[in-house]
Amino acid sequence: MAGFTMLIICFFLLSYITITTTLSLDTITLGQSIKDGEKLVSSGNVFELGFFRPGKSSGRYLGIWYKKDGEKSDETTVAWVANRNKPISDSSGFLSINAQGSLVLKMNSTNNIVWSSNPSTSLQNPVAVLLESGNLVVKGGNDKNPDNFLWQSFDYPGNTLLPGMKLGKNLVTGKKWFLSSWKSIDDPALGYFTYQVDYRGSPQLFLRMGPKIIYRAGSWNGLRWTGTPLLEPKNPVITYNFVSNETEVFYTFNIRNRSVQSKLVLNSFAEARRLKWIDSTQTWERFSTLPYDLCEDYDRCGSSASCNISKSPDVCECLEGFTPKSPGEWKIQEWTEGCVQRAQLPCNHSDRFRKHKEVKLPDTSLSWVDNDISLAECEKLCLNNCSCTAYANSDVREGGTGCLLWFRDLHDIRNLPVNGQDLYVRVAASELDNIDPMRQSNTRRRHISEKKWVIIIVTCVVSAMGVLVLGWIIFMCKRKLRIQGKTHNSHDINDNNEESKTDDMELLIFDLNTIASATDNFADKNKLGEGGFGPVYKGTLMEGQEIAIKRLSKCSGQGVDEFKNEVILIAKLQHRNLVKLLGCCTQRDERMLIYEYMPNKSLDYFIFDKTRRELLDWSKRIQIIGGIARGLLYLHQDSRLRIIHRDLKASNVLLDNEMNPKISDFGLAKRFRGDQTKGETNRVVGTYGYMSPEYVIDGVFSVKSDIFSFGVLILEMVSGKRNRGFCHTDHNHNLLGHAWRLWNDKRAVELIDQLLDYSYTLSEILRCIHIGLLCVQQGPEDRPNMSTVVLMLGGEGSLPKPRQPGFFAERILTEHEITINDITLSLLEPR
């Protein structure tokens, strides 16, 4: 009997526990609350509301997700988050509703309000209900109208568009509905990207990074956005809709068959993905992705040009009748300037329109639209207005109706394989008549140029053979000479020195007194800094010229060799991205090098400083990266000497008054012969954070060690962070390791310096990160050489996949990393 009573008590206890923990209700009323750990479930068990902790995040959030996703919480599963920017630090959060009808998310531990819905009005007896659509609504408890809401979560979309949600604007209240990405896969905070309808001209759908458009789906043509040919209106499962009337303008989609689940997610790496639930795998599978190819980048080809992906990588082409604005730039695939009319438009009734079939219509932000007139009337309107550049039907249904007019440059046109539209572009009559003769002359020109090529090739081959023969003869002669004069060449440096003095050393020998008076006798106020081998001063010569003087410290016996080295090497080098040595001074026991003065100091002065970094926008940074690359290319390949710098780093890149980079400090540079590809040393010198693994560990250096340093520099420029001393809460990796992790997680955008304004093209900056990772690969043989890097930086070609970087988990050299910052060190004496 006692056993039976126990059983009954247990049963009641158990059922009590299940009731309180699952609380399988879809409604919160006054006085009730949802605590962390409890859930609100929609009536048909499709959606769930509760607290979650995404990925590695330490905070907790209140969100709504498909119940079948269970505990998987990241940007593709969680459909809506209440407290996006304010995570709850413990598990004391709870959601309740107050008497005014406002949902309130509070922390019980601190009694702070984390989030609240704050509706503009209030009502009697409010309740909150999680609907089957995933919409969390607040309404009157006795209200029988199912659509009368005081507040609804569908009005505040996050990164997910569920069926029935709107993307657009309520013209009466001014409320906008748009998607905004998460900061990263597992950080719901407001991210970089938005997907929203733009109402200027004819409404269009844009994907933006901050204020900057990075992708344009285009204007609605009755069936789809003009740039989304695959959006099929007769889809048996999903219906797409665009509504534009006096009260609202919006885009929405709905599911015809309740057994199918589909949603649109704007992810943290700038893609709008349509996902479909697949029962067999129990996952969300990607159904389509926008943008999907190179031609989708907004305005890739500039004005009056069209992007044709079949011609990749040379994708841009002027519209017929147009010619590149800057032909030189166009040739090197620098398309942004676009194209201009080839012939002057007389602007009278002799003008004609050329029809372009199957295109994505140009940007309609500045267009004029009338949905009620025919194409013929549209043409007439355009012809009668000199500033009208093109026209098209605004609606493609019923064979085409309505009229769209463009008044300025035509931007962001591309050819589409299917479902494109017809665009009529104004050209001079002569262009239209001349088309056939033009084609002819083109082919004739091609014949001529083919002939030319044959001639050029033959000439080249013949002269190359001539050069070879000549070279052979000279080589044989020299060899004889060298064998005879072997003793002469043993004092390599001195000989070189001699040679350069007589040969081409245009070095000025400065008088010590001149230098002393230029620097006020090396006054402290003129001291610019302290390099590895001694202080650097600023000086002003009598004529007013400003110079920088590197004075080797007398006490360091070290440095004499480096001094000689630098004089010999740099005196022979002339390149706009190398700092210019003006002369030297070697009186008494002083050794000084005199350089041109760089008013903007060095790169590290800017790039690692919070305020100064902001002055370097992306165009400046990429210009600096390009300049350093060209300087290195010159050192490695193009100069008469082949030189490995061995100490490339941010503080060795100086900036002139136009922020042009100049590589400096050749104290450690090594010259190598043309056929020599690497050297070895048992004195490893350089700067930690920039040295390649094979150099630090084995003392082996080659041009590829410089490439490694360059790669580090690229990643530092993009992120604004130092490789050395980098730390992150998630891991122990350095900047390289961090970049590598983000890259593999497809989160490379997170590496981008937050202080950069939105002046950059995302694809360009991602490409830069990609190139940086290629340069810092573990294996020197995997790293590209400098000429390839320069091509990669300038070109559009596809890049190989990077392998694991060297030293990405570098915290192994800590005992040497102590205090000295950015001064060239020579600490290791391996083996």
Ligand X SMILES: *[C@@H]1O[C@H](CO)[C@@H](O)[C@H](O)[C@H]1NC(C)=O
Question: What minimum distance in Å lies between the beta carbon of 236 and ligand X?
Answer: 8
Question: What minimum distance in Å lies between the beta carbon of 363 and ligand X?
Answer: 16
Question: What minimum distance in Å lies between the beta carbon of 92 and ligand X?
Answer: 7
Interacting span for ligand X (CB under 6 A) from 186-194, 243-251, 577-585, 793-801: 243-251
Interacting span for ligand X (CB under 6 A) from 17-25, 222-230, 245-253, 369-377: 245-253
76 contacts 86 by C-beta, under 8 angstroms:
no
Interacting span for ligand X (CB under 6 A) from 306-314, 469-477, 667-675, 760-768: 306-314
Question: What minimum distance in Å lies between the beta carbon of 311 and ligand X?
Answer: 5
Catalytic residue among 647, 706, 753, 822: 647
Count residues contacting ligand X (CB under 6 A)? Answer: 23
- The SS3 of residue 776 is coil
Question: What minimum distance in Å lies between the beta carbon of 259 and ligand X?
Answer: 4
Interacting span for ligand X (CB under 6 A) from 60-68, 308-316, 548-556, 724-732: 308-316
Question: What minimum distance in Å lies between the beta carbon of 415 and ligand X?
Answer: 4
Give the torsion sign (CA, 268, 271, 273, 278): negative
Interacting span for ligand X (CB under 6 A) from 240-248, 543-551, 601-609, 614-622: 240-248
Question: What minimum distance in Å lies between the beta carbon of 812 and ligand X?
Answer: 48
**What does the DSSP assignment read for 643-654?**
EE-S---GGGEE
Say whether 647 is catalytic: yes
Q: For residues 676 and 641, what is the distance between their CA atoms, to the nearest angstrom?
A: 12
7 vs 386 by CB, closer to ligand X: 386
Question: What minimum distance in Å lies between the beta carbon of 71 and ligand X?
Answer: 22
Least Cα distance to 217 among 182, 239, 242 occurs for 242
Binding to ligand X by residue 243, rule CB under 6 A? yes
How many degrees, rounded to 5, is the angle at CA 42 between CA 40 and CA 46? 115
**What does the DSSP assignment read for 214-257?**
EEEEEEB-SSSBTT-TT--TT-SSEEEEEEESSSEEEEEEEESS
Residues in 406-425 that interact with ligand X by CB under 6 A: 407, 415
Question: Of residues 247, 440, 732, 787, which one binds ligand X by CB under 6 A?
Answer: 247
**What does the DSSP assignment read for 205-219?**
EEEEETTEEEEEEEE
CA dihedral 623, 627, 628, 630 (to 10 degrees): 140
Residues in 254-293 that interact with ligand X by CB under 6 A: 257, 259
102 contacts 46 by C-beta, under 8 angstroms:
no
Q: Is 803 left (phi over 0), alpha (psi -120 to 50) or beta?
A: beta
Rounded to a whole number of angstroms, the distance between the first and last alpha carbons of the chain is 84
Instruction: Mark 290-302 as b/e (b = at least 16 C-beta within 10 Å).
Output: bbeebbbbbbbbb
Residues in 27-56 that interact with ligand X by CB under 6 A: 33, 35
Binding to ligand X by residue 311, rule CB under 6 A? yes
Residues in 504-563 that interact with ligand X by CB under 6 A: none
Write out the E strands in 552-677.
Answer: 581-585, 592-596, 642-644, 653-655, 661-663, 670-672
353 vs 522 by CB, closer to ligand X: 353
Question: What minimum distance in Å lies between the beta carbon of 64 and ligand X?
Answer: 20
Site string for ligand X, 714-743 (x = CB under 6 A): ------------------------------
Residues in 771-790 that interact with ligand X by CB under 6 A: none
252 vs 267 by CB, closer to ligand X: 252
Binding to ligand X by residue 57, rule CB under 6 A? no
Q: In the structure encoding, which two tokens stand for residue 392, read together?
A: 């098209």
Q: For residues 393 and 123, what is the distance between their CA atoms, to the nearest angstrom?
A: 48
Question: Of residues 94, 115, 251, 634, which one binds ligand X by CB under 6 A?
Answer: 94
Please count the CA atoms within 13 angstroms of the CA of 552 that sit on its side-chain side: 25
42 vs 252 by CB, closer to ligand X: 252
260 vs 615 by CB, closer to ligand X: 260
Question: Of residues 32, 308, 336, 600, which one binds ligand X by CB under 6 A?
Answer: 308
Quick one: DSSP state of residue 446?
H
**What does the DSSP assignment read for 52-120?**
E--TT--SBEEEEEEGGGTT--STTTEEEESSTT--BSSS-EEEEE-TTS-EEEEETTT--EEEE---S
Residues in 99-118 that interact with ligand X by CB under 6 A: 108
417 vs 725 by CB, closer to ligand X: 417
Binding to ligand X by residue 252, rule CB under 6 A? no
Listed in sequence order, the residues at least 6 apart from 701 whose beta carbon sits closer than 8 Å to its beta carbon are 644, 646, 670, 678, 679, 680, 681, 692, 694, 695
Question: What minimum distance in Å lies between the beta carbon of 256 and ligand X?
Answer: 7
Residues in 196-215 that interact with ligand X by CB under 6 A: none
Binding to ligand X by residue 341, rule CB under 6 A? no
Residue 684's DSSP bridge partners are: 828
Residue nearest to ligand X as judged by C-beta position = 346
Residues in 343-402 that interact with ligand X by CB under 6 A: 346, 348-350, 368, 385, 387
Q: For residues 131 and 123, what is the distance between their CA atoms, to the nearest angstrom?
A: 20
Q: Active-site positions?
A: 647
Residues that bind ligand X (CB under 6 A): 33, 35, 94, 108, 243, 245-248, 257, 259, 308, 310-311, 346, 348-350, 368, 385, 387, 407, 415
